Copies of this chain bind each other. A is one copy, B any other.
Amino acid sequence: MSREGQTSQPKYLRIAAELRGALERGDYQPGDRLPGENTLAADFDVAPLTMRQALGVLRSEGLVGSRKGSGWFVESFRPIRRRGIPRLARGQWGSGKTIWSADDHRAPDVDQITVQEDTPPPEHISDVFELAPGETVCVRSRRYVMEGRPVMVAESYLPQSLVAGSPITQADTGPGGIYARLADLGHAPARFREEIRVRMPSAEEAARLAIPADRSVIKLARTAFDSEGRAVEINEMTMDSATYVLDYEFDA
């Protein structure tokens, strides 16, 4: 297996690292406007093009942003902490202690929702549901925003035969949401699996999340199993990788 060696680093990445260090030290505060590109280039003793490439790296990481006509600024958005496993009562646990600072107290809102019934499933969805050929799914597609900023899109898949005629096929599923309605149908989720990977966004994902094409996304697929071990829902989430800290707490 060949690997791309990294003996020396391109100059724009060195500059990006220096500027990242300055942000981490607090030389510039969230929301601050940065000096102009030419001023920064002079400060770092590089060509303006190199400076712009370095700023592009920090933008792909969500550390800085740019506004047409008013240059670069330090991102003020705090990452969102997403707890995969519901909090247990724990009192004694020193679980206020976290490695990364993130917003623990707010959840994003849904600003777009569509429901499509009777849709042919993608193959990997069909496989997990063990659907027979020709069986269809109900797809609930949502976008989440926080402070006006898209942070996640999510597609929930449910076997059509399981949910036909139920409130799950409506935009508003009522109190307790999908899981409460699955319980009404006799298929309450009893166990979850969450699978996480990271990749570059598709054009459509980058557009829906309004992120630069070179910022990666977190793909998080959550499968709900009922007490019989049947997969009853798969929620495929696509997150702006700069906005989330994922958090799992569990007993040894």
A1-33 contacts to B (CB < 8 Å)? 1-7, 9-10, 13-14, 16-17
Q: Does the CB pair B100–A197 fall under 8 Å?
A: yes
In the assembled complex, A142 has its CB within 8 A of some CB on chain B: no
Q: Does the CB pair A99–B241 fall under 8 Å?
A: no
Quick one: given A14-B203, A99-B124, A199-B61, are A94 and B225 in contact (CB under 8 Å)? yes
Chain B positions within 8 Å of A10 at CB level: 213
In the assembled complex, A202 has its CB within 8 A of some CB on chain B: yes
A 228-247 binary contact with B (CB < 8 Å = 1; else 0): 11110010100001101111
In the assembled complex, A147 has its CB within 8 A of some CB on chain B: yes
Q: Does the CB pair B197–A245 fall under 8 Å?
A: yes
Q: Does the CB pair B198–A230 fall under 8 Å?
A: no
In the assembled complex, A214 has its CB within 8 A of some CB on chain B: yes
Interface residues of A (CB under 8 A from B): 1-7, 9-10, 13-14, 16-17, 57, 59-61, 65-67, 76-77, 79, 84-85, 90, 92-95, 97-100, 124, 127-128, 130, 147-150, 179, 188-200, 202-203, 206-207, 210-214, 216, 218, 221, 223-225, 228-231, 234, 236, 241-242, 244-252
Quick one: given A4-B59, A210-B3, are A248 and B97 in contact (CB under 8 Å)? no
Q: Does the CB pair B5–A210 fall under 8 Å?
A: yes
Residue of B at shortest CB range from A207?
B6
